[in-house]
Amino acid sequence: MQDLSLSIRTAGELRGNLLADLFDKCSDLVQVINTDGSIKLVNASWCNKLGYREEEALTMNIFSLIAPDCQENCQLIFRDLLSSGQPKSIKCAFLTREGNRIYLEGNMTVVMKEGVPVMVQGILRDVSERHHSEQAILELNASLEQKILERTSQLRVSEQRLEEAQRVAKVGHWDLDMVNYQLYWSDEIYRILCLDKDTAEATYEFFLSLAHPDDRQLIDAAFWGAVQTGVPYDITYRVFVETNRMIYLRTRCAVYFHQDGSPLRAIGTSQDVTELITSRDSLINSQTKLRKLVELSPLGIALIDDSGRYLDFNDAFLEIVGHSAEELCGLSHSELFTDYAKGEATHRLIGPNGEGCLFKIRVQPLMSEEGSFSWLIVEDVTQRLAAEKALRQAANVFRHAQEGIMITDQDGVVLDVNEAFSKITGYERAEVIGSNPRLLKSGFHPPQFYQDMWARLNDSGSWTGEVVNRAKDGALIEMLETISAVSTDDDERKVYVALMADIRQIKSQQRQLEHLAHFDQLTGLPNRVRLSIEMEAMMDEACRQNAPISICYIDLDGFKEINDYYGHAAGDALLRCLADRIRLLLSDSPHCLARLGGDEFVVVLGHQSEALILIEKLLYVLSKPVDWGHSRLEVSASIGIVQYPDSNRDQGADQLLRFADQAMYRAKQMGKNRYALYNQFFYNPASQLSQ
């Protein structure tokens, strides 16, 4: 029996030694992490890759090594791993000791003890080289796409300017609850569709019935495709409104999902782009007409062989040389034009009566398997009629252009303007002729702006940029201008041609989009993006002034039950009311207030001595009932607080928010309707404030 026991012990020690040797010599990165993220064990490959000694690693938290842009996703995976106990795959960027960025991927598993997670094991592999290769491919594709766009941009510029100038921002939004299959339309949707909000049925099926029969399949396929794949879509289609009046709608939609992958909500916008589509069709027709005018150009084109015999020609060429097609087939090039030479030169045409007319001929050799040929492009430079025709065409373009046009001499004296210029600026042609373009000067730009403009114009012959001008009535006009220097026939003097497009409407839309990107649409409060900017500024100021601030993460207790029972309208009204209460309470204190989404808010407070008093007041005002019709909506709040700068001076805004989030969850675990400080927790019932 003693021999058997000794053998078992010896085998166990051997197995342990083998595992330890495998752990140390494994090329993959092996790590064991406690449930709070602190590092418990790492192998040699881990230390080599990240540049830390083992004793250093054991004093660190794993999230301090993860790149800031990967923090949020890794936190979510880590929480899900601990809550579900199921293995998870992960891929994220780590920062080495030197600050270099490496990309790791692998699997993480939870070690359970009596049903409770006690640690997390992970095996990771360095995939930085593969990641950089993928990025290089993406950058190469982007570069190729940019080159293609640059080649085609000149063909699209006139269409894009017309579309942008005529676009009207008439946008409505809608929200489809995919769980209860309930559809919400904004008032603008009802207005666009000419429907009565009180009687029209807001359902997907009803909306689909309004669509043009030929477009219903397009709409249905786009929507359900987004539900299945999660890829947003952007489509334009036709809808009948009122008495069979047809409009064009552009719809953009994104679908949001539960953690289990089931669809949760579909949120989208619909815009009436009828005027834009109509304008685009008009532009295409105009371009077609212009293309036909080019085909009627007086240039003559002919194809000749190496001996000078005519093989093919256009009607303009026959008109120029004064011969019929049959006569021309019997002649050679040298019999029509004197001093024939390849290249580009001026020749005289030998007419039927022996009269010579001056022509400019450009000869382009063409080599093929069938022999040597040449293209002839002939221009009659003596025919005044052709010149007058070209001038009339230019005058029509000048007169009917949608952009404002101003022509000045080299001294800056205005020679002419078109009707579009007068429409944009309010100045009639007679008021502008003989004046200086300075009459449009708004005072908005410094002198250096105009000095740079003229320097670029003199160097390259053209300048393009945005200018704020002043109209005749004093209004400021944002314009996109292109100024070109054009030489006259004698090449001794220049004229300057300025094209002006009114972009006020486009700039207004840009400002509206910027506001939507930084502020919550429901409450008007800053969103997460704006909060990060303002938090960083307040954190810098707190460090400079040595004046601590408090970051408070607020989550409403019982909001989901109200939202489920009374509906989204009641929930939205409750959120707006509580946001207004917080704003009013903090109006006299330095602060930053933001809504992260759902029922979560963040308040950053200055004046550390007053912070806890204000937080107690916050608990009180948030617990006061809100009237909703004949009902009273009541919630409370759990608040997590992080003080900065403290021991967390080196943490960024995102990490501080995560700390405050953890403290908020501790407040909920302690019974809700109270606050908790990060690493210190206090019982604070709001009811004491009302006594």
CA neighbours closer than 13 Å in the CB half-sphere of residue 329: 5
The DSSP element (H or E) to which 275 belongs, if any, is: helix 274-295
Q: What does the buried/exposed string (b/e) look like for 227-250 if buried means 16 or more CB atoms within 10 Å of the residue's CB? A: beeeeebeeebbbbbeeeeebbbb
Virtual CA dihedral for 568, 570, 575, 580, nearest 10 degrees? Answer: 150
Structure token pair of residue 31: 């790590």
Nearest to 406 by CA among 467, 346, 448: 467
303, burial (CB in 10 Å: exposed 0-12, middle 13-18, buried 19+): middle
Name residue 496's beta-bridge partners. Answer: 408, 485
- Is 198 among the catalytic positions? no
Pairing label, strands 476-487, 462-470 = antiparallel
Cβ atoms 501, 403 nearer than 8 A: yes
Nearest to 277 by CA among 304, 306, 323, 238: 238
- Closest of 283, 266, 264 to residue 275, by C-alpha: 283
Q: Are 630 and 685 in contact (CB under 8 A)?
A: no
CB 73 within 8 A of CB 92: yes
Task: Take residue 397 and report the two structure tokens written for it.
Answer: 């373009």
Distance (Å, whole) CA 534 – CA 545: 16
In three-state secondary structure terms, 613 is: helix
Dig out the tokens for 139 from the structure: 């950058």
**Nearest partner of 427 among 484, 398, 469, judged by Cα:** 469
- The answer to whether 558 and 635 have CB atoms below 8 angstroms apart is yes
Contacts of 183 (CB under 8 A, 6+ apart): 174, 175, 176, 177, 202, 203, 204, 207
Q: What does the block give as tokens for 94?
A: 């780590």
* H or E stretch covering 677: strand 674-677
**In contact, 123 and 105? CB cutoff 8 Å:** no
Q: Residues near 94 by Cβ (< 8 Å), separated by ≥ 6?
A: 50, 65, 66, 67, 101, 102, 103, 104
Strand blocks (E) in 288-423? 300-305, 310-313, 344-350, 356-368, 371-380, 404-409, 414-417
Phi, psi of 673 (to 5 degrees): 55, 50
CB neighbours of residue 437 within 10 Å? 16
Residue in 126, 380, 520, 599 annotated catalytic:
599
Nearest CA-CA partner of 664 in 638, 635, 636, 637: 638
**Annotated active-site positions, please?**
599
